[in-house]
Structure 1
Amino acid sequence: MKKIEIYDPAMCCSTGVCGPVADPELIRISAVIHNLKKKEVTVSRFNLTSEPDAFVSNTEVRQLLAAEGPEVLPVTFVDGKVVKKQGYPSNEELEQWTGITAAELIAKPRIRLEIKTKKQ
């Protein structure tokens, strides 16, 4: 199975729902990552603000930051190779890399509700 690593720019959270305005791209990538993990794809996501050691310990990320600055982020690796810089992967790119259809990647979770009634 594929191993995906995403190195995010500095931000307060990775969900996109904090701050004054929700970021739809962060919401999308968070949901897609959740679905990838449900399909047993190994996905790691690192935030420059809260996990700077991950950026320092990855030689290629460190070199990209030195050469291109923080504008290079986010950077996505698949199986240890850079596959995308300066933006999050699209659903179609993730489908191509993992073999999981874009429809499965954006599937919303199904919640089953049970309504119990009082017996008289």
Structure 2
Amino acid sequence: MTKIEIFDPALCCATGVCGTEIDQALVNFAADFDWAKAQGADICRFNLAQEPLAFAENPVVKGFLERSGADLLPLVLLNGEIALMGRYPRRAELARFAGISTFAAASAPAQSSCCGGNTGCC
């Protein structure tokens, strides 16, 4: 199975879906992330503000940050290789990355939970 790792820029909480001005891209991705996880995807997220060691200890991410800086985050790795940078993957992309049926991706409703299923970040 493909391992999907998302390296977020510095966010106020684990999902970035908090505060008074919420970025709709983060709301959508939080729902898509939870959906992919529920489908059995091997997927995880790392927040630069809360987990800086995950960035420093990963040679691909560390090299990316040294070359490009944090302005191009988020960074998406598939099995340790860069697959996407500068934006969050859409649900169909997550499905393709994880080998989830495209029917499942197209038929599942998007969740609208404030924190994408996480508690305590709002």
Tell me the TM-score normalised to structure 2 length: 0.79
Amino acid at match of 1:13: C
Q: How many residues align?
A: 109
Q: Taking structure 1 as reference, are residues 104 and 61 closer, same or farther at Cα in structure 2, changes over 3 Å only?
A: farther
Is 2:61 aligned against 1:61? Answer: yes
**Which sections of structure 2, spanning at least 5 residues, go unmatched?**
113-122
Rounded Cα–Cα distance in structure 2 between residues aligned with 1:2 and 1:38: 15
Tell me how large the CA RMSD over aligned residues is: 1.9
Is 2:106 aligned against 1:103? Answer: yes
Q: Taking structure 1 as reference, are residues 53 and 33 closer, same or farther at Cα in structure 2, changes over 3 Å only?
A: same
Q: Taking structure 1 as reference, are residues 63 and 18 closer, same or farther at Cα in structure 2, changes over 3 Å only?
A: same
Is 2:53 aligned against 1:49? Answer: no
Q: Is the 8 Å Cα contact of residues 4 and 76 (structure 1) preserved in structure 2?
A: yes
Identity between Structure 1 and Structure 2 (%): 40
Rounded Cα–Cα distance in structure 1 between residues aligned with 2:9 and 2:73: 5
Rounded Cα–Cα distance in structure 1 between residues aligned with 2:2 and 2:107: 16
Q: Report what 1:24 is aligned to.
A: 24
Q: Is the 8 Å Cα contact of residues 92 and 106 (structure 2) preserved in structure 1?
A: no
Rounded Cα–Cα distance in structure 1 between residues aligned with 2:48 and 2:95: 26
Q: Report what 2:3 is aligned to.
A: 3
Q: Is the 8 Å Cα contact of residues 15 and 26 (structure 1) preserved in structure 2?
A: yes
Q: Report what 2:12 is aligned to.
A: 12
Amino acid at match of 2:106: A
Is 2:79 aligned against 1:76? Answer: no
Tell me the TM-score normalised to structure 1 length: 0.80
Q: Taking structure 1 as reference, are residues 12 and 22 closer, same or farther at Cα in structure 2, changes over 3 Å only?
A: same
Higher RCO, 1 or 2 (CA under 8 Å, sep at least 6)? Answer: 2
Over alpha carbons, which structure has the higher Rg? 1
